[in-house]
């Protein structure tokens, strides 16, 4: 059975700039190509889940400006069932330099993150009918609403909301190389059932709440490495889908690894994403 899946999280309007190499301080470099797309963890994961399950729900918030409207239309065009609260002001934007030689990305963010709140007029009650939800951003009330799903996966960047909400997550995902995602499970009132730390091309490790540990190996990209943007959230989406579908942790991690590897082989966050259902 295909699981019913969704995301509670944030969306950004991102300009991607492909350069021969990242600029050094004071240097001017020339872009070889550039494009814009919906970005941010909520957007990337929602599209990846839609490609795995055939459909996916995203509960988010968008600014009431042209940038917010544009990313909303794009996500719907990519198969996401979008429910977005409206916010005044300018939508959060980002500029991502993509190194053409290595595929590595460097991101500059403009503006404050816009997140969904539990008092927004969104269909929160529907989440209790979902098999799995990935939580990337929101307030404590949004985190509690997401917990109504059978499986809740969350990014370590949402730890503060999880602490305030006092909810248990089935899997907390963090990048082992990103200081902003360093996580101490003891900070949470209810420890995650498993903490997952990704290590890029080396795969990653997991630690269960009862002390069991393990690791998984990375998948081989289906083509040359092109672009690392979105790989982590594609991985988390694959993990969420797998757990929602009833896979054991090892199998769900391998599906996540496949999603991350496929994302790595495409330009931008969506070109290479793994699709189990063709739209």
Backbone angles phi, psi at 233, to 5 degrees: -75, -30
The pLDDT tens digits for 107-147 are 889 999 999 999 999 999 999 999 999 999 999 999 999 99
User: Which structural domains are found in the chain, ordered by start?
Assistant: 5-264 (3.40.1190.20)
Which tokens is 227 given? 């672009």
Q: For residue 82, give the 3-state DSSP assignment.
A: strand
| Phi, then psi, of 94 in degrees rounded to 5 | -145, 155
| Predicted pLDDT at 188 | 81
Of 185 and 109, the structure prediction assigns the larger pLDDT to 109
Q: State percent of the chain over pLDDT 70.
A: 98
Instruction: Determine the pLDDT at residue 96.
Output: 87
Comparison of pLDDT for 188 and 121, the residue scoring more? 121
At 253, the pLDDT band (50, 70, 90 cuts) reads very high
Q: How confident is residue 82, by pLDDT bands cut at 50, 70 and 90?
A: very high
Residue 278 confidence (pLDDT) above 80: no
Q: Write out the H or E segment, with its range, that includes residue 256.
A: helix 249-264
Residues 189/172, Cβ–Cβ less than 8 Å: no
Residue 88 has which token pair?
Answer: 């005044």
Output 169 or 103, whichever has higher pLDDT. Answer: 169
Do 219 and 258 form a contact (C-beta atoms < 8 A)? yes
CA 222 – CA 270 distance, rounded (Å): 14
pTM: 0.94
Q: Are strands 204-208 and 194-198 parallel, antiparallel or unpaired?
A: antiparallel
β partners of residue 26: none
**Secondary structure (DSSP) of 108-121:** EEESPPP---TTSS
Distance in angstroms (rounded) separating the CA atoms of residues 77 and 63? 19
Work out the pLDDT band at 29, boundaries 50, 70, 90: confident
């Amino acid at each position: 059975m295909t699981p019913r899946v969704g995301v509670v999280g944030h969306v950004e309007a991102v300009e991607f700039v492909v350069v021969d190499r990242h600029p050094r301080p004071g240097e001017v470099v020339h872009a070889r190509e550039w494009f814009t797309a919906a970005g941010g963890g909520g957007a990337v994961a929602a599209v990846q889940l839609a490609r795995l399950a055939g459909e996916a729900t995203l509960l988010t918030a968008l600014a009431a400006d042209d940038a917010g409207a544009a990313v909303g239309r794009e996500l719907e065009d990519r198969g996401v069932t979008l429910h977005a609260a409206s916010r005044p002001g300018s939508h959060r934007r980002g500029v991502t330099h993509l190194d053409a030689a290595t595929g590595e990305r460097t991101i500059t963010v403009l503006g404050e993150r816009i997140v969904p709140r539990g008092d927004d007029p969104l269909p929160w009650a529907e989440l209790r009918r979902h098999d799995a939800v990935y939580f990337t951003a929101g307030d404590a009330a949004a985190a509690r609403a997401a917990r109504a799903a059978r499986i809740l996966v969350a990014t370590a960047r949402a730890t503060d909301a999880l602490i305030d909400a006092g909810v248990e997550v089935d899997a907390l995902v963090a990048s082992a190389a990103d200081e902003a995602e360093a996580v101490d499970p003891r900070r949470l009132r209810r420890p995650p059932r498993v903490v997952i730390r990704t290590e890029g091309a080396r795969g990653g490790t997991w630690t269960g709440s009862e002390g069991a540990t393990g690791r998984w190996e990375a998948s081989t990209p289906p083509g040359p490495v092109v672009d690392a943007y979105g790989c982590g959230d594609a991985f988390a989406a694959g993990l969420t889908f797998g757990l929602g579908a009833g896979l054991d942790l090892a199998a769900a991690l391998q599906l996540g690894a496949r999603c991350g590897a496929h994302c790595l082989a495409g330009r931008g966050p969506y070109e290479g994403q793994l699709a189990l259902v063709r739209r």
